[in-house]
Structure 1
Amino acid sequence: MFWRSLRTLLFVNPCPCCGRRSPALICGHCQRQLQTCQLKSSLLNGRGLFPLFAWGSYGGPLKRAIAHLKYDQHPELGVLFGQWLAESWLANPTRPTGAITVVPIPLHPEKLKQRGFNQAELIARGFCRITGLPLAPQGLIRQKNTLAMFQLSLADRQRNAMNAFRLGSGLKRHHHVLLCDDIYTTGTTVQTAAQTLQSHNISVCGVIVVAATPQGTHHA
């Protein structure tokens, strides 16, 4: 009994979403809350120039959990969300197949230094761990320290994102790429990233995100 109690004490940690003690990364209560945000189909049509695959709808518990990931120093959530996204991806028979490399949307070096990690790269690593797809973490470099998009109009978003990226390392001509990010709203960022890749004859076959804004989404 003593050793069982000691093991429980040693391996039970606070849930990063609510603070409850839990033997799992996320407590059962928060997992159930997050599951209410999962989409019936991970493929969202009519949301941009490329097929968009999202695990959930951006709002409620999922919005709060992503905020915990990015602003409360819980990088472990990024890998977990990437794994959930991968499971949804693998269950979708319409997903692209073949030789695909996953490229996370990068942070500017100043923001990366401030945050300590790139949430899109963590999501991509979790995704690739399950799918087995190769990862090019430095495939794109953010050369412009853009403003936060949520406070901008569509026109301002487009100006803000202009010339934000340059080609990094790990990609070659005629590679097929999946762009990975945490949230999809208007698609301005991924479209700018895709244009950079396409200018080097690298094609984008889709975009994967943990959450997409509610427009056009349907819950399970």
Structure 2
Amino acid sequence: MMKIFQNFLSLFLKSSCPLCQRPTDKELCPYCIRQIQSCHKQNPAYLWKQPLPIFVWGSYGGAVKRAIAALKYENQPQIGYVFGQWLGESWLLHSPQPQQQVLVVPIPMHPKKQKQRGFNQAALIAEGFCNVTGYKLKVNGLERIKETEALFNLSPAERRETLADAFILGKDLRRLPNIPILLVDDIYTTGATVKAAVKTFEQHQIKVLGVAAVATTNKQK
């Protein structure tokens, strides 16, 4: 009788998976984890080349797209931390520059938008990433001072114009670092946002090693 009660209690105490509502005691259920992991790229460093090296965990589509939407728009911040851990594990296995020490800086949101959402998903991803890799996190290394409209309907030129002077150095980098920056973001599309961030660092002679992102819309493997 006690065993039955304990089994019932453990089932009752389980939360629901935010993606499929199955009972789970983890951030995501095993089924959804398998679906998301199937989008993991075999060679995450295939975009690691100049002028802007990019490291991407997976493809932006299917279960990954659904999970990122839940993270950003359905108040599921725990998904960001999980994605960050997976990104960190992939970095340790496939890093194009494994011995390189870096400071990790997430792409910031405008304070007004972050207040509305309650968190910055890139910062959560960066936190999970640093927890796995051991890199130092500078969560306020960059500050967004220009509130921009959604970029997905804009042309590349319009994106660059919209993001001009959108960032300044944040309070965590008042002392200029002597090791390079690794930027972290959720999705890499045209690169307009990260290029604007890189430009801000370059204006202060701070080297940027590259960008690590959870997913990209780029179709290559």
Global fold match (TM > 0.5): yes
Number of equivalences: 216
Kept in 1, the 8 Å contact 2:88–2:129? The answer is: yes
Displacement of 1:93 in angstroms is: 4.6
Structural RMSD (CA): 1.5
Cα–Cα, structure 1 residues 145 and 96, in superposed 2: closer, same or farther, change >3 Å? farther
Q: Tell me, in whole angstroms, the C-alpha distance in 1 between the residues paired with 2:76 and 2:19.
A: 9
Q: Which residue of 2 aligns with 1:5?
A: 8
1:54-88 per-position Cα deviation (integer Å, ceiling 9, x unaligned): 11001111111100000000000000000000010
| 1:65 lines up with 2:67 in the alignment | yes
Consecutive unaligned residues in structure 2, runs of 5 or more = none
Give the 3-state SS of the residue equivalent to 2:64 in structure 1: helix
Q: Tell me, in whole angstroms, the C-alpha distance in 2 between the residues paired with 1:151 and 1:70.
A: 19
Superposed, which structure 2 residues align to 1:1-220 within 5 Å? 1=3, 2-10=5-13, 12-45=14-47, 49-171=51-173, 172-215=176-219, 217-218=220-221
Q: Tell me, in whole angstroms, the C-alpha distance in 2 between the residues paired with 1:67 and 1:115.
A: 12
Displacement of 1:46 in angstroms is: 6.7
List, as ranges, runs of 4+ consecutive aligned residues in structure 1 with deviation greater than 6 Å: none
Kept in 1, the 8 Å contact 2:59–2:215? The answer is: yes
Percent identical residues? 48
Amino acid at match of 1:20: R
Q: Tell me, in whole angstroms, the C-alpha distance in 2 between the residues paired with 1:61 and 1:48.
A: 30
Cα–Cα, structure 1 residues 161 and 26, in superposed 2: closer, same or farther, change >3 Å? same
1:124-172 per-position Cα deviation (integer Å, ceiling 9, x unaligned): 0000001000000000000000111112111111111110000112221
Kept in 2, the 8 Å contact 1:181–1:208? The answer is: yes
Q: Tell me, in whole angstroms, the C-alpha distance in 2 between the residues paired with 1:174 and 1:62.
A: 35
Displacement of 1:8 in angstroms is: 3.1
Consecutive unaligned residues in structure 1, runs of 5 or more = none
